[in-house]
Structure 1
Amino acid sequence: MAITLAEEIMLLSLDDESGSAKQRSAAGWAVSGGILLELVLAGRVSVAGKCLELTDTTPTGDELLDGRTALIETWLRGRKQRRVTEWLTKDQAKAVGAALESLCRRGVVVEEKRKTLGMFPMRRYPEADGVVEAELRERLRAVVVDGAEPDTRTAGLIALIHSAKLHRLAFPDSPRKEVTARMAQVADGQWAAENVHAAIRDMQAAMIAVTVATSTAVATAGS
């Protein structure tokens, strides 16, 4: 299977030279949302309103997606559905690690283990194959900067990046105002079947809800 939406978001967040993740928390929400969208597109999960439902446990053949399907099944604990926000909150941090492991398996990045101050372990993920990211950024640029019509996967990716406010990671050298406006236009456009479009809309609402709640909790704790 081609590189997943979650891996694409993770790749955009990694510094090419140091291999460290930028905007890791926000990227985590988008990575977790990217996995859910892949499962929606694969017909394994449905997202409607505020709820997530597992509809098919047949393996997709992708280790990242199949691993998350198994985790969702366990998390549901026999229930038909649970809130999307609950899953995103549970999966946000772990999804980052899972996406990085998948990128390593594909040979796109390599894992480097170091110690800071000689004591504290640290992991970085510099690129091993820059072609994948270059092609990804060109695809995004064609739609957002040049105005090309997006396919379903690219539009979904743009919607997730827009929801998590990762505009600068995707387009570090482009005018933020214009990029944000175009990404919002793509996110709101009728670029997919209604069930997929509705799933993206509902995931965007869930991501905004959890990120606002998290930011509020952090601000309250620090006051």
Structure 2
Amino acid sequence: MKSITTDTSAAAGVPGAPTLAEDLLLLLFQPDSGMIAGENTLFYVLGAAMLADLALRGSVVTTTTRGGSVIVEAVEGREPPDEIFHSTWDYVSDRRRGVQTILPAIGPNLRQPLLSRLITRGDVRKEKRKALGLFTTTALVDGGSGRRSGLLENVRNVLVGDTEPTPRAAALAALVWGSGTLPQFDPVIPWNSSVIARAKEFERGNWGAAAAGEAVTRTMTAIIVNSVIVAAAVPSPQ
């Protein structure tokens, strides 16, 4: 299977606002342990976040074949200026490809450049520690920017409360759900039947009245999230 390399030099300047994939990785970062939740399937989830972001930007569209396969196609002239997208864009715009082909091709090389961006932005930092008093290890700790707390509050509001989500917040909530890590956010985001039901609505692309004009993007993101669940074999809680 063809694999691609993401340009890590993008982290040096960190242009513009954080990408959806950065937000997702920051949310999955667990400050108490210094670990990233869902590491085993992380490359699928980050790849999906990149595609969902391209959909939100109107850079890609999808079609479904008679056999039910989802095909992604780049929109000519809509290449994002941010370099972090360029390798993904090149891979998608080269020719029409199925989601299940794209995710394992773009995902494995995303973690490090995205993490580098979070460190450069000050959202996460590296800390040297002594193990057993002899060995020096490097741990990831919260950078103190407060951005993770803000993202977590946004996702909580759309899953727990009646807040009408923006398309980006809905996509982020759907991706967290699709990653299979939502139970790990309990009790901040309660793991109960009402939250599960609302998360499933986002999975299906039901984002509420505030996103009524985002039908194409909602459908695209729902397709991508479902593809993550299928590709990563993440069980959907009942």
Q: TM-score, normalised by structure 2?
A: 0.74
The structure with the greater share of residues assigned to strand is: 2
Equivalence for 1:198 = 219
**Structure 1: gaps of 5 or more residues:** 216-223
- Deviation of 1:160 after TM superposition, in Å, equals 1.4
Equivalence for 1:145 = 160
Equivalence for 2:174 = 159
How many residue pairs align between the two structures?
Answer: 209
What aligned pairs does 1:1-223 form with structure 2 within 5 A after superposition?
1-49=16-64, 50-56=70-76, 60-62=80-82, 66-73=83-90, 75=91, 78-79=94-95, 81-112=96-127, 124-173=139-188, 174-188=190-204, 189-191=206-208, 192=211, 193-212=214-233
Question: Residues 85, 118 of structure 1: CA spacing in aligned structure 2 closer, same or farther, 3 A cutoff?
Answer: farther
**Structure 2: gaps of 5 or more residues:** 1-15, 65-69
Deviation string for 1:68-98 (max 9, x for gaps)? 333441x35842x111111111222322222
Letter in 2 for 1:181: A
- Deviation of 1:120 after TM superposition, in Å, equals 10
The structure with the greater share of residues assigned to helix is: 1
**Alignment check: 8 A CA contact 1:158 1:186 kept:** yes
**Alignment check: 8 A CA contact 2:62 2:71 kept:** yes
**Alignment check: 8 A CA contact 1:31 1:99 kept:** no
Q: What secondary structure, in the 3-state scheme, does the structure 2 residue paired with 1:110 have? A: strand
CA RMSD across the alignment: 3.0
